[in-house]
Structure 1
Amino acid sequence: MKEIFEQGINRENTNSAKWDAREKFFGTSDVLPMWVADMDFAAPPTLKDALIKRAEHNAYGYTIQNDELLHSIENWVQGRHQTNIDTDLLSFSPGVIPGLHAVIQVFTEENDQIVIQPPVYPPFFSVIETHNRTIVENPLVLGDNGYEMNFVELEELFKAGAKALLLCSPHNPVGRVWTEEEMKKVTDLCVKYDVLLFSDEIHADIVFSKSEHFPAIRVNEKVKELTFTLMAPSKTFNIAGLQGSFILSPNEEQKEKLDKQLQKQGIGMLNTFAYTAMQTVYETGDEWLEELNKTLENNRDLVKNMFEESGLPIRTVSSEGTYLVWIDFRETDTPHDELKKILIEEAKVGLNDGTTFGKQGEQFMRMNIAAPHSTVEDGVNRIIEAFSE
C-alpha cells in the first residue's frame, strides 16, 4: 500500500483538470500543478477491481442505491466519526456543491442572510449569490496557533437575523479541524437563534494524528433538527470524477422537500459507477486511508520545516487536516499580483490564488500537498529558490 503514495501516478494527458488545464489557467503548461483539490495518488486497488467487475456486465442503465450501500455509509460514519445516522434520511447528489445549491434553494428565501467564514472555499460565495441570497461574512481570525472563529461576531450576526450558517468542517483552505468545544459553541448558537446549519464535511476523513473530526450532529442533539450534513468519499479516496455524495437531512419532511428539489435540478440519481465506487471504498478503504493520512501529515511537516529552515519570511498556517496548506507570504512585502507572477514565471509552481477565497486571502496562496514526498519537496524548493533570488 505504501508504494501508492511513494510513487504517485502520472496524470498528464488524461484530461486531468489539474494537469491538462495548466495552459488555460496559468498561461503556461510549464508549472508544477499544486492547485486543484484532487490527488496525484492512485485510488484504492479494490476500487479498480470493483469498477472493472461492474463494467463487465456491460449494461449502464438507470441505477439506484441499494441497502448494502446505505449500510456501508452508516458503518463508515459510525466507525470513523462515532456518529449514528438514520439512512432513511439520506439523499444523493453528484457532489457537495450541487447539494448546497439544493438546500439553499429549498430552505432559504431570496435576500435571506447566509453566514460564511472566509477565507473559505470559493463556491461558498457563488452558491449564495447565484440564488439571490445575501452573503454575511464572519471572517476567521488568524492567531499564533492558526485560525479561530469569532464567536462574539457570529452571535451578533445571528441576532441580526441571519437565516443559515454555511460551515466548512474541516476548513478549506486553512486546514482547521474544529474541536469539540468549538463545534459545541457553533451548534449552541444555531439552536439559540434557530439558524439552519449547512455543514460541508467533505474533508472529514482527512485528519491528522492529534486531531479528531466532530460532525455537528454528534456534539449537539438539539441541532439535528436544524442541520443538513453534506459528506462524500470524493476527497477521501480521490474519486471526485465519479461524482457521488450524500446529504443527511434533519427529518423526513425536510428530506422529502430536498429530494423534490434534487429532482427539479435533474440530479436526484447518480451514475452507475458512483454507487459502486462509494460502497467499495467505504467497505474496503480503511488501510489505504490510514496510509494516506500518514503521508499527508508528513508532507505538511515537510513544507512547514522547509520554509522555516530557508530563513525566508514565508510561513505555513498551522494545519490539522485536509491536504491543503495555506501559505502566508505577507512578510515578503510582495504585492499580491507580483506574488502570483513570481510563483508562475520564476518558481514555475501553480498554486491557488488566495484572493479567490475572499479578500482575507491577500498575500496568501493555497498549496495541494496530495502528491509524493519528492513532488512536494520539488514544489517548495522552487518557491524558496525564486524568493531567495
Structure 2
Amino acid sequence: MPASPSTARAINDRLALQLLQQEGPLTAGQLKTLTGLSRPTVAGLVERLQSSGLVQVVGEAGAERRGPNARLYGIVADRAHLAALDVRTHSVTVVVADLLGTTLAEAALPIGRHTGTGQAVEQAAALLERTAREAGAERLHSVGIGAPGLIDPVTGELRESTGLPEWHRALVAALQQRLSASVLVENETNLAAVAEQRLGAARGVDDFVLFWLGQGVGAAVVLGGKVRRGASGGAGEVGFLPVPGTGALPSATGCDGGFHSLAGAAAVRELAARYGVEGDTEDAVRSADPEFLGALAERLAVGAAAVTAVLDPGCVVLGGEIGHAGGEALAARVEARLASLSPLRTEVRAAALGGEAVLRGALFAARDAAQEELFAPGA
C-alpha cells in the first residue's frame, strides 16, 4: 500500500534531516543527489524544515556559484541542548552540547567515598545545572547518563546493587523530578560500545563485543548493529564468567573466582608485580614489558575465547582503562593467542576513545532521544 502524501513528506523530511546531521551543511542540489528525490520535492522539504525551525541557511557553496542554488542548509544547532553524565563510583563528569553534539561546557567533580546519598545527589545535580548555565542552555531537552550496573530492560531504570553507591540510583530519580528534560540511563559499557561503533575502533562494524577492562570487568554485546541487553539486562556480565586459572568459581553474590579475578585492575596489578613492572594499573600496562603483556594477553584471550565461542562476533574491542592503555601492542597479543584457542577467526582491536567513551556514548543517547522527538512527523 503506497504511503499517503503526508506520510511521504514526513519520511522525506526525516531523511533530509539525518543527512544534514551526518554530512553537515548541504545544498538543495546535494540533498537531491543524496536522497534521489525530485528538485520540487527537495525545495518543498527545505521550506518546511526552515519553517519548523530545524534548518537554516548557514552559508554558500563556493564563490563561483551564487544565488539560491548555492545556499548551504544546516541543522539549527541550538534548537535543543543536551547533557551527558559519566557516573563513576566516586566521581561524576558532565558535558553539555547542542543538537549537533558540539560540546559547549564540561566539568567534573569527585564524590567522596563517605559522602551521604543526599549530599552526593545534590552535588551531582548542582554540577549539571551549573554546567548547563555556563553553556547558555536555559533548558535541557535530553540527558543521557552512563553508570555501572544493570539496567532493567522493562523499566529502563538502574537496578539496585550492593556493590555500587546508593546515590547512583537516587541521582537518576532526582534528575527526573528536578528537570523538565527526558532523562535516560544506560550501562556504561554499552554506551562505550555505542561511541566506539560511531566514532572509534568499531566504526562500521555491525557485530562485535567490547570488553571493558578497568576496576571491574564487563562487556557490551553488539549484534546486527544493536546493543543486546539480554532478558534481564545482564548480557555482558563477563566478570562472573567461570574460567580456568582462578582456582575458584563465582557465585550469585560475587564475581571472585570468575573472569574478574583474572582481568580486573587488582588482578592486573598483582600480575604486573610478578614481572617487576611497577606503577598503577594503566602505567603498568602502558610500560609495554613484553613478558608482562604476554601474560596479560593470555588471561584476556581465555575470556575472549569463551565469549566468541558462543557469539562468534568476528571482532573484539579492548576498552576501559586497561584496554586503552595496552593499545595495539596488547590487542595484537590477545588476537594471536585467541587464534590458538578458537577455530573462529576473530579480530582484536584496541579501543580508540579512552576515558571519554562513556561520556560520548551518553551524549549520543541524549542526541538520539532529542532527534527522535524533534525529527518526528508533525513535531
Instruction: Flag the structure with more relative contact order, 1 or 2, with Cα contacts below 8 A and sequence separation at least 6.
Output: 1
TM class by shorter chain equals under 0.3
Higher strand share: 2
Structure number with larger C-alpha Rg: 2
Taking structure 1 as the reference length, what is the TM-score of the superposition?
0.27
**What is the TM-score of this pair, normalised by structure 2?**
0.27
